[in-house]
Amino acid sequence: MWMAHSSSPYGVRRIALACFALLLVAIFLFPGQIQGLLQYLGGPVGYVVRIPLEAIASIDAGIADRWEQYVMLQGVREENQQLRKEIEWLRGQHSQLRESAASTERLTALLHFKEQALPTMIAAQVIGRDATNRYRTIILNKGEGDGITPDMGVVTPAGVVGRVVKTTWASSVVLLVTDPNNAIAGLIQRTRDEGIVEGTQEGLAQLKYIPLLSTLRDGDRVVTSGLVGDFPRGLMIGTITRIDKQEGALFQSAELKPEVEIGRVEEVLVIQTSYGQSIKTGVGADLSEKAAP
Amino acid sequence: MKFLFYLMLVVLLVPLQTTLLPHLSVWNIKPDLGLVTAALVGLFAGELEGLLVGLAIGWVLSLFSAGELWLSLLVNGGVGLLAGFLGRQVSQVTPVSLGVGILLVSLVSGLFAAITLKGFDMSQMWRMVESVVFPQACFDGVVGAGFYWLLSRRFGVRPLRTE
């Protein structure tokens, strides 16, 4: 029996109540400072917690991998995985090429091209999902120590995954593109109409604030516009599956099927610097190697 | 010794909650083990330990979630404290009564979180309550009751009482 009776509960009770009251007062009087302090102290704690987290994530991945390899059809699975990676890579390439073609058409008339460099990216592994059910996030095994800071964009070769919202020294939390709290500037590739991509409760995404005169249609592809946030222009976000045009509304909206299979993401790339900033560093060249399956 | 136990509990709760529990989720809903742990620690070890362990759990879990830090701290710390008080005052805590208590706290904290989410209209909020908050509260209640039954009936751990 563990601590079945206590003879002097009142002192303890007073201390507990005083601690809680103090915390409440501190949080409501100095919310920013308390948040900052706890976030700062969380750096080393995150480092300690990452050790069992990574260990369990790798055991978990190992078991899942073995299970799929030996219990399910081994050859087919490997081939399927290889083909899937290839498709993802080709989709990314296709999207980039379409974007390049569209840009070339527009810019040929101007003759002046601004030299663009590929963004610098950090490869990271997914080691967990959000601790609560209220947000759709993934946890990465890289953090501030690796140069990741909040608001950086996160992608796979297939397209946009989300953006970093929280970091510790050794890990970071990425808010997925399917979370209703996320907002990314998007562009319909064919019509060049811009809007805001937000997540939905159903785990999909929607493009909002599309001009009423836009001639968008099902199957149109939506890419990042590169105007707001840390995403460069032309990264694939998703494909339009349904258009919502209401009587009397100022804008129309469209439902998107995200290009990346969010539930199956295992490795991602964090965009450290956007186009233009990594010129002549040579780091950008790594992307094409990393992106290849 | 107890400090080490609590430290291990808090550190291991994160991989359990973020890596293993998604496999055990029902309709994509997983229980909040932090809330359940804080309630059980409060019940079995008293309000002060419940409060401190709950605060530690809330803080560490919030580092691995997009959620608000203050809400996580207050909910988990508050649950530990409340469970400590109730453990001393209620003559007989049963798995059902604890389960209902955890369900209510989880429901209130979930509702509060839904209300504080920015940019949500009423229909989105209601949808979240319907599809996430309520099922999770039920799940938390069942898991809490299950753990309490296991600890009290199988391992003979008793809640703290005032003499």
CATH number for position A70: 2.40.10.350
Residues 80-119 in A contacting B (C-alpha not used; CB under 8 Å): none
Q: How far is CA A272 from CA A151, A152, B66, B94, in A?
A: 10, 6, 20, 53
Residue B67, chain A, CB below 8 Å: the answer is yes
**Cα torsion at B44, B143, B36, B122 (round to 10°)?**
-150
Residues facing A162 on adjacent strands: A154, A176
Is residue B130 one of the residues assigned to a domain?
yes
- Inter-chain residue contact A3 with B28, CB threshold 8 Å: no
Query: What letter would DSSP give residue A237?
Result: E
Mean pLDDT for all residues in chain B: 83
Mean pLDDT throughout A16-36? 79
Which residue would you say has higher pLDDT here, A188 or A284? A188
Predicted pLDDT of residue A10: 64
pLDDT in tens, A213-223: 888 888 889 99
Would you call B15 and A46 a contact, using CB atoms and an 8 Å cutoff?
no
CA dist A31 to A27, A39, B115, B134, Å? 5, 12, 19, 29
Q: Kindly state the tokens that stand for A180.
A: 């209703």
Contact flag A139-B18 (C-beta cutoff 8 Å): yes
Is position A225 within any domain? yes
Smallest Cα distance from A141 to chain B, Å: 11
Residue B25 pLDDT exceeds 90: no
Q: In this structure, is residue B20 part of a structural domain?
A: no
User: What confidence score (pLDDT) does residue A164 get?
Assistant: 92
Does some domain include residue B24? no
Interface test with B, best of A10, A134, A138 (most B CBs within 10 A): A134
A42-46, A67-71, B78-82: range with lowest mean pLDDT: A67-71
Domain assignment of residue A42, yes or no: no
Q: Which residues fall within 8 angstroms of residue B48, CB to CB, at 6 or more apart?
A: A12, A13, A15, A16, A19, B84
Asked, for residue A199, whether it belongs to a domain, the answer is yes
Which of A12-21, A44-53, A119-128, A131-140 has the least mean pLDDT? A12-21
- Residue pair A167/A152 in contact (Cβ under 8 Å)? The answer is no
Proportion of chain A above pLDDT 70, given as a percent = 81
Q: Among all chains, which residue has been given the structure tokens 């007073």?
A: A14
Given a cut of 60, whether residue B163 has pLDDT beyond it is no
Q: What is the pLDDT of residue A100?
A: 78
| Whether residue A30 has pLDDT greater than 90 | no
Q: Is B22 on the interface with A (CB under 8 A)?
A: yes
Q: What is the mean pLDDT of residues B4-8?
A: 87
CA end-to-end distance (rounded Å), chain B = 26
- Answer yes or no: is pLDDT of A113 > 60: no
- CA B18/CA B23 separation, integer angstroms: 10
CA distance A256 to A9: 57
Q: How confident is the model at residue A285 (pLDDT cuts 50, 70, 90)?
A: very low
Structure tokens at A136: 């759709």
Tokens encoding B79: 């649950």
pLDDT on residue A293? 36
Three-class SS state of A212: coil
- Indicate the residue of A6, A17, A173 with minimum beta-carbon distance to B65: A173
How would residue B118 be classed by pLDDT, with cut points 50, 70 and 90?
low
Mean pLDDT of B18-34: 82
- Which letter does DSSP use for residue A129 in this model? E
Residue of higher predicted confidence among A35 and A166: A166
Q: Is residue B127 part of a domain?
A: yes
A283 pLDDT above the threshold of 90? no
Provide the number of structural domains found in chain B: 1
Residue A17 placed within a domain: no
Question: Which region among A79-93, A112-126, B74-88, B119-133 has the lowest average model confidence (pLDDT)?
Answer: A112-126
Is B7 touching A (CB cutoff 8 A)?
A: no
> What is the mean pLDDT of the segment spanning B22-42?
85
| Residue A175: predicted pLDDT | 92
| A1–B156 CB contact, under 8 Å | yes
Residue A1 has pLDDT above 50, yes or no: no
Q: Of B46, B69, B114, which has the smallest distance from its Cβ to A6's Cβ? A: B46
Q: A176 lies in a domain?
A: yes
Average pLDDT, chain A: 78
Place of tokens 């199957």: A219
pLDDT digits (tens, 9 = 90+) for B44-76: 888 888 888 998 998 888 888 887 778 888 888
Residue A3 has pLDDT above 50, yes or no: no
User: Across the interface, do B117 and A181 touch by the CB < 8 Å criterion?
Assistant: yes
Q: Which domain holds residue B92?
A: 2-13+30-154
Assess contact for A237 and A177: CB atoms under 8 A. yes
The amino acid present at A178, given as its one-letter code, is: T
Contact between B46 and B158 (Cβ < 8 Å): no
Nearest to A56 among B20, B28, B158 (CB): B20
Count how many domains chain A has.
1
> What average pLDDT score do residues A107-130 get?
67
Alpha helices in B16-160 (DSSP H): 33-45, 47-63, 69-89, 95-116, 122-128, 134-149
Across A178-193, average pLDDT: 87
Task: Identify the pLDDT of residue A114.
Answer: 46
Residue A287 binned pLDDT confidence (cut-offs 50, 70, 90): very low
The pLDDT-based confidence of A292 (bands split at 50, 70, 90) is: very low
Quick one: pLDDT band at residue A5, thresholds 50, 70, 90?
A: very low
Domain that includes residue A282, residue range: 61-293
- Express each pLDDT in A238-261 by its tens digit: 999 988 887 777 888 899 988 888
* pLDDT at position A174: 93
Contacting residues of B for A6, CB less than 8 Å apart: 46, 88, 160-163
